[in-house]
Structure 1
Amino acid sequence: MICVFFAPLPPPLSFQQVIRAAKSDSRLANNNLPPDIQKLRCRTCYEAIRFSPKIEAMGKLLVERMRFYGPYIALHLRFEKDVLAFSGCTHGLSKAEAEELRIIRENTAYWKVKDIDARQQRSKGYCPLTPKEVGIFLRALGYPQKTPIYIASGEIYGGDSHMAELRSRFPMLMSKEKLVSVEKLEPFNGHATQLAALDYIVSVESDIFIPTYSGNMARAVEGHRRFLGHRKTISPDRKSLVHLFDKMERGILKEGPKLSNRVIEIHKKLQGSPRRRRGPVSGTKGMDRFRSEESFYENPLPDCLCRRETTNLNAALVVR
């Protein structure tokens, strides 16, 4: 086994208790960097950086309480007001709700795109799945009604009115608020990043992680799970699913074996199995080229690996 080891931090850093690196992740290249730099990234992300003791303790407690119900799915459900307003997605919403989101988008100065065609967004797979669509998706994949599901999310837009269809298919929907008392959760309330950290821990430790929309947390959780041994992460093909959901709404397709077979076939290779990180899209240049690369934090392979020396031409790669 060939591994890389690093020297201790230089004296100026080793004496510091806190180091802040603000908004640095999006400015770093994903590929074509010296191997030692990439491996340092792995050590930093997955070994050196830790949550505070109180966050780790609460995260562990939440995981233990989810495990009490058996193997569980962590569902990163991005059906939140700010996500819907930013993306311009209104499918399944009332006219009043869609108008509220339009006003939010219009009044948020740093969101540059104001006029968005919601149908076009959805048809291209740019919208988060609705709770109803998630329920249909999970049943099509074959998960039984009694499957415990942890909702890793902020406040769901529309609350119970939009969660009803998902809950009717999967009654065992859990959250931080349901797993621990108000008193235990109180120190974290009012601190959005700390609450998100709790969801992160429960998601990383879950038996299956399913993000309904791309984003920093979803990418980070998927990458962390890859590093820990390619734990199962199902990434919904939203564009293909929307095509199937639209057929259902037109009465052409119904829930059942035909839908299930199609959904399972589409997602055979979208479950976190080992693969090399995708490079930039051919023909793109400048910032477009950089943005088309798969994020290191979504798939830290092959950089976060040791290579076994073997005579086999297909040398085995194992996660560190």
Structure 2
Amino acid sequence: MPCTLCVCVCNSYQFDIFNLVCFNCSNFSNVFDEDHFISSLANDVKIIRKLPMELTTATRGVKHFRSWSGIDYYQEEIASLWEEYQVIRAAKSDSRLANNNLPPDIQKLRCRACYEALQFAPRIEAMGKLLVDRMRSYGRYIALHLRFEKDMLAFSGCTHNLSLEEAEELKSIRENTTWWKVKDIDPVEQRAKGYCPLTPKEVGIFLGALGFPSSTPLYIASGEIYGGESRMDDLQSRYPLLMNKEKLASVEELQPFINHASQMAALDYIVSVESDIFIPTYSGNMARAVEGHRRFMGHRKTILPDRKALVRLFDKVDRGTMKEGRNLSNRVIEIHKRRQGSPRKRKGPISGTKGTDRFRSEEAFYVNPLPDCLCRKESPFMNASLVTN
């Protein structure tokens, strides 16, 4: 699961690797196994919990890494900071790092950091595995990352199948959230472009069209669904084995995690990574991280809904010009033949793009860590093994 180090302290800079990193992030140890993280990277990065005495009063440089930059940015602008500062605070570096054309040692270090060093705290791991075992007692299961939550709908401006009162509430939240830049959103246009998370009802239609029987166990990885349990009625009627953390575990078992959103999300992450099939209804950070983690663990099946194509089919069903059945199923299956997490090299920039747009169009490393985290023997993806060394 991607993480941001709150404070980086270096006494030299060499080969793009920090040789001294200081944690000053209280939330890290609440979610991750800090000791394991430090020991796993000991041969690459010296990580300490507190600044050395001689650096506690040193002038600190604060750097917000520029989003979607290439390697030259780090080799020139970032490296030059060490000429002026002994202590540098890397603020908001998440999802802003270069993806491609970096030295192999750096990419391998990323593999070790993401998939070997970064593990959840023991009690989170234990609870997550318990949830996985209980899901498996129902059989092979699908984990659905269902982003039909109030904040996501307000941010994206998506109001399909909501009441006027609900749409106004979401609009008010968006307008009053100062750090959200886009305020005026056309919900119809937004949905037509595939920018909206699938509704619970649409998920039910989608799963049925893909051929999953009603006896398929589903695990819902999400926060509170907007509209409450009634909004899940259609999906529940199609797939009665609809489970989540609260249904799989007792109140007493969840009590240590219940008031910690990051820890609750970590539990969902574990159950999603270990699922037989993972389906995200929106391409947010967690969904992308799970997809990449599952690729690293042997290309476990991850079905990525083509929302733009699906909404056109769903609208036909709503208008009565297409019925749920073989025709719809054939269309949905055909659209998603190549959207199931099969091995492929990470996508580079879109042809014709330049500057920031070029780097921005690249597929993120943590979404698809291949080929950097894969040893090749005879052919790109045959007889290969996943490595972090």
The CA deviation at 1:72 is: 0.3
User: Which one of 174, 186, 201 corresponds to residue 243 of structure 2?
Assistant: 174
1:3 aligned residue: none
User: Which one of 5, 9, 14 corresponds to residue 43 of structure 2?
Assistant: 9
The CA deviation at 1:26 is: 1.6
Which moved further from structure 2: 299-308 or 278-287?
Answer: 278-287
1:63 aligned residue: 132
TM-score, normalised to structure 2, is: 0.77
User: Which one of 230, 243, 257 corresponds to residue 312 of structure 2?
Assistant: 243
1:268 aligned residue: 337
1:319 aligned residue: 386
User: What do residues 265-308 of structure 1 show as CA deviations (whole Å, max 9, x unaligned)?
Assistant: 00000000001111111222232222211111110000001121
User: Which one of 252, 258, 265 corresponds to residue 321 of structure 2?
Assistant: 252
Consecutive unaligned residues in structure 1, runs of 5 or more: 1-5
Provide closer, same or farther for how the CA distance between residues 71 and 30 of structure 1 changes in structure 2, counting only shifts above 3 A.
same
Identical counterparts, % of pairs? 74
2:229 aligned residue: 160
Q: Within 1, Cα distance between the matches of 2:233 and 2:200?
A: 8
The CA deviation at 1:9 is: 3.2
Provide closer, same or farther for how the CA distance between residues 96 and 220 of structure 1 changes in structure 2, counting only shifts above 3 A.
same
TM-score, normalised to structure 1, is: 0.93
Structure 1 residue 229 corresponds to structure 2 residue 288: no
Q: Within 2, Cα distance between the matches of 1:7 and 1:159?
A: 44
Consecutive unaligned residues in structure 2, runs of 5 or more: 1-39, 52-88
Give the AA of the match of 2:104.
Answer: P
Structure 1 residue 120 corresponds to structure 2 residue 154: no
2:152 aligned residue: 83
Structure 1 residue 298 corresponds to structure 2 residue 332: no
Give the AA of the match of 1:9.
Answer: N
User: What do residues 112-155 of structure 1 show as CA deviations (whole Å, max 9, x unaligned)?
Assistant: 11000000000000000000000000000000101100000000
Q: Within 2, Cα distance between the matches of 1:313 and 1:104?
A: 48
Structure 1 residue 25 corresponds to structure 2 residue 94: yes
Provide closer, same or farther for how the CA distance between residues 314 and 10 of structure 1 changes in structure 2, counting only shifts above 3 A.
closer
The CA deviation at 1:315 is: 6.8
Provide closer, same or farther for how the CA distance between residues 319 and 93 of structure 1 changes in structure 2, counting only shifts above 3 A.
same
Q: Within 1, Cα distance between the matches of 2:204 and 2:264?
A: 24
Give the AA of the match of 1:78.
Answer: R
User: What do residues 80-139 of structure 1 show as CA deviations (whole Å, max 9, x unaligned)?
Assistant: 000000000000101000000000000000001100000000000000000000000000
Structure showing greater Rg: 2
Q: Is contact 2:124-2:263 (8 Å) kept?
A: yes
Q: Within 1, Cα distance between the matches of 2:371 and 2:100?
A: 11
Give the AA of the match of 1:319.
Answer: L
Give the AA of the match of 2:385.
Answer: V
2:263 aligned residue: 194
Q: Within 2, Cα distance between the matches of 1:120 and 1:45?
A: 37
Q: Within 2, Cα distance between the matches of 1:62 and 1:51?
A: 15
Secondary structure of 1:128's match? coil
